[in-house]
Amino acid sequence: MFVTVTTGASNIRPSQPSSIRAGLQRLQGVLHLILIPTLLLSLAPLALLLIDAGKTTEQFEAHPWALTLPYHFENYWVMAGGMSRYIINSSIVSGIAIPLALALASYTSYVFARFKFPGKEMLYYAIIMLMMIPFVLYLVPQYLLVLSLGLMNTRWALIFPYAAGGAVFGVFLIRPFMAGLAEELFEAARIDGAGDWQVFYRIALPLCRPILATLMIILLLGQWNDIIWPSVTMTQDKLYTVTLGIFSIAKSVFHGSSLGQTQWGFMFAAFVISSLPLVFVFILARKAFIQGLSSGALKF
């Protein structure tokens, strides 16, 4: 009887993995049928943007959805000169605001994750509750504060609010990641004589590079595409950011023909040029960004 049972089991076991693999393959096929059309729909606006960026007004009005020849690459060269100063302004603002936000968020998260003190959780949730306030509710108080400090029409009117808002979101994102780090690493560093700052700088920060890259790209996207706050605080064209620059060019150039026709090719070319820095940054930080998302950025 023992031999019969054993032999029967041996006859059943090999069939189980094959059936599981077949089921997984069918599931993958269904997922591909869903994901491929979704991917095409996601890429369609980008492809249409690149197609229309090389058209004249006549080509766009005649064939707005199709590729037309000749493709006018000069649209990019014309718009590159007008967009350069706006890209530089946005780069300066983000280049200062994002490191400030990362520094504030990382050290604050380190304190909340690795130290114990009275009222820690209450203070943490009080900071997180700031994310629940809609932007329009503190737009006027924030404007009055910037006005009273004499920061209107300066880059600091953008840098300080961006850094403060990014730090709040950064604490929400980084603290769970930092709390999951092994305590043995910090204890070993303290045994070797490292102080709190050295432990943070030499142990915590290097381990948090993926989540910091994730936060950097998220903040960069938000700041680069913001139009409400720059339009409130900036009235001088020389300080316009990318979004305000495109809006300004739209009023002066896009309707500049004698017939009043919108220069759609120039407009779409400006959109492409303004997005190139974001694409470049994402290409450089894509591995750390994906690693941060998959290793703790969404764990709370």
Whether 97 shows a pLDDT value over 50: the answer reads yes
At 211, give phi and psi (nearest 5°): -70, -30
Tokens encoding 135: 């932007």
Determine the pLDDT at residue 254. Answer: 53
Determine the pLDDT at residue 17. Answer: 64
Whether 227 shows a pLDDT value over 80: the answer reads yes
Domain borders along the chain are 2-52, 74-297
Tokens encoding 245: 């620059």
At 248, give phi and psi (nearest 5°): -65, -45
Provide, rounded to the nearest whole percent, the portion of the chain with pLDDT above 90: 22
Determine the pLDDT at residue 247. Answer: 81
Give the CA dihedral 111, 116, 118, 119, nearest 10 degrees: 50
Determine the pLDDT at residue 229. Answer: 93
**Per residue in 55-85, pLDDT tens?**
888 888 888 888 888 888 888 888 888 888 8
**Per residue in 27-63, pLDDT tens?**
777 777 888 888 888 888 888 888 888 888 888 888 8
Determine the pLDDT at residue 161. Answer: 93
Q: Residue 121 in contact with residue 190, Cβ under 8 Å?
A: no
In angstroms, the CA 298 to CA 292 distance is 9
For 179-206, b where at least 16 C-beta lie within 10 A, e where not — what string?
A: eebeeeebeebeeeebeeeebbeebbbe
Tokens encoding 280: 């470049």
Whether 7 shows a pLDDT value over 60: the answer reads no
pLDDT-derived band of residue 147, with 50, 70 and 90 as boundaries? very high
Hey, what amino acid is at 260? G
Whether pTM > 0.85 for this model: the answer is: no
Of the candidates 213, 217, 109, 214, the one whose C-alpha atom is nearest the C-alpha of residue 168 is 109
Among 76-90, 130-144, 149-163, 189-203, which is the least confidently predicted range? 189-203
In angstroms, the CA 111 to CA 120 distance is 9
Tokens encoding 122: 């209450």
Report the mean per-residue pLDDT for the chain. 82
Residue for token pair 């629940």:
132
Provide, rounded to the nearest whole percent, the portion of the chain with pLDDT above 70: 86
| Residue 203, SS3 per DSSP | helix
By the 10 Å C-beta count (0-12 exposed, 13-18 middle, 19+ buried), 13 is classed as exposed
Residue for token pair 């009887």:
1
Whether 8 shows a pLDDT value over 50: the answer reads no
**Per residue in 263-275, pLDDT tens?**
788 888 888 998 8
In angstroms, the CA 70 to CA 195 distance is 65
| Record: fold of 74-297 | MetI-like fold (1.10.3720)
By the 10 Å C-beta count (0-12 exposed, 13-18 middle, 19+ buried), 131 is classed as exposed
Whether 9 shows a pLDDT value over 50: the answer reads no
| Residue 153, SS3 per DSSP | coil
Tokens encoding 279: 């694409």
In angstroms, the CA 82 to CA 112 distance is 46
CB atoms near residue 269 (< 10 Å)? 27
Cα angle 232, 173, 283 (rounded to 5 degrees) comes to 80
SS3 content of the chain, % helix, strand, coil (to 5): 80, 0, 20
Determine the pLDDT at residue 78. Answer: 83
In angstroms, the CA 27 to CA 16 distance is 17
Residue 178 C-alpha from the chain's centroid? 20
Angle between helices 74-114 and 120-129 (to 10 degrees): 160
